[in-house]
């Protein structure tokens, strides 16, 4: 994620009385997906990545006899920078509430892979139901949270707000930033699909731009650019499951 690609205002404090953004910009979603989420447990920290399964987390969850987990934070609601005092106060309130409800927690932090966004204190919560994780994220004004709800500990990004459609100028600038060879493939997509494609990493972008090159035997997370996940398997598994679920792949 290049700092210049961040929409104006996403890393700045809001003026007094201003409301948080109603949606999440594609580049901000991309930043969430490319971030590292480090969980401090024992002497060997776990590193969680969106769209990947984590063997260490699977072992941790199994040891506590739980099948779900979430990474939650109260820092920087709406991804708008707040003061350290406001952030740590809100995080303490979040941890207190989770502790009062008996959840097992481990300290965690979200780290921007590009080093632009400051590290955010977070917490890995074991055994929390998805609807409760959603309520907590909403209570603290978060755009999204990490969710683990599969036996293979596949890490998903769960958005709590809709996609904020980029302007035509932003779309044009993004297309012009791509190598010339890929611009023709991008032009075949509708604007809403382009917005989602702007939120994925380069590997996934190439995957969605060139479906004719898919290797049906290659392992690939069963996730679409909107973040919805259906487990882990081969591309052939993905096609069967998407069809069975009544969904349509972006091709």
Paired tokens of 136:
């907590």
pLDDT band at 176 (very low <50, low <70, confident <90, very high): very high
Answer whether residue 149 is part of any domain.
yes
Question: 211 and 102 in one domain?
Answer: no
Answer whether residue 249 is part of any domain.
no
Range of the structural domain that residue 225 is part of: 165-244
> What pLDDT does residue 191 have?
85
Are 106 and 43 in contact, with CB atoms under 8 Å apart?
no
Mean pLDDT taken over the chain: 80
pLDDT band at 116 (very low <50, low <70, confident <90, very high): confident
Q: Domain tally for the chain?
A: 2
- From 114, 131, 162, the end of a domain falls on 162
> What pLDDT does residue 216 have?
62
- From 109, 138, 162, the end of a domain falls on 162
Task: Choose among 165, 162, 188: nearest CA to 175.
Answer: 188
- Is-above-0.95 flag for pTM? no
Answer whether residue 250 is part of any domain.
no
Question: 38 and 157 in one domain?
Answer: yes
> What pLDDT does residue 14 have?
44
- From 145, 162, 179, the end of a domain falls on 162
Answer whether residue 102 is part of any domain.
yes
Paired tokens of 53:
């399964």
What secondary structure does DSSP assign to 94-145, as a single string? HHHHHHHTT-EEEEEEEE-TTS-SPPEEEEEEES--HHHHHHHHHHTT-SEE
Question: 66 and 156 in one domain?
Answer: yes
> What pLDDT does residue 202 have?
85
What is the total residue count of the chain? 251
Model pLDDT for residues 45-77, shown as the tens digit of each residue:
999 998 888 999 999 999 999 999 999 999 999
Question: 28 and 117 in one domain?
Answer: yes
């Amino acid at each position: 994620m290049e700092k210049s690609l961040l929409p104006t205002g996403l890393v700045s404090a809001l003026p007094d009385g201003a409301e948080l953004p109603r949606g999440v910009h594609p580049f901000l979603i991309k930043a969430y997906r490319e971030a590292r989420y480090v969980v401090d447990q024992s002497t060997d920290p776990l590193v969680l990545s969106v769209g990947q399964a984590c063997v260490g987390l699977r072992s941790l969850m199994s040891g506590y006899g739980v099948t779900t987990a979430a990474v939650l934070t109260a820092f920087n609601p709406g991804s708008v920078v707040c003061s350290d005092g406001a952030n740590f106060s809100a995080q303490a309130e979040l941890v207190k509430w989770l502790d009062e409800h008996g959840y097992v927690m481990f300290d965690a932090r979200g780290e921007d892979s590009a080093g632009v966004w400051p590290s955010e204190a977070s917490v890995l919560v074991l055994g929390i139901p998805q609807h409760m994780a959603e309520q907590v994220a909403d209570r603290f004004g978060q755009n999204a949270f990490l969710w683990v709800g599969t036996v293979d500990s596949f890490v998903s990004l769960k958005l709590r707000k809709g996609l904020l459609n980029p302007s035509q100028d932003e779309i044009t600038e993004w297309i012009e930033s791509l190598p010339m060879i890929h611009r023709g493939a991008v032009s075949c997509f509708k604007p809403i699909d382009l917005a989602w494609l702007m939120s994925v990493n380069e590997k996934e972008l190439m995957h969605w731009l060139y479906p004719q090159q898919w290797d049906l035997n290659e392992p690939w997370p069963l996730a679409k650019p909107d973040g919805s996940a259906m487990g882990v398997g081969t591309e052939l598994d993905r096609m069967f499951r998407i069809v069975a679920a009544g969904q349509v792949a972006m091709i």
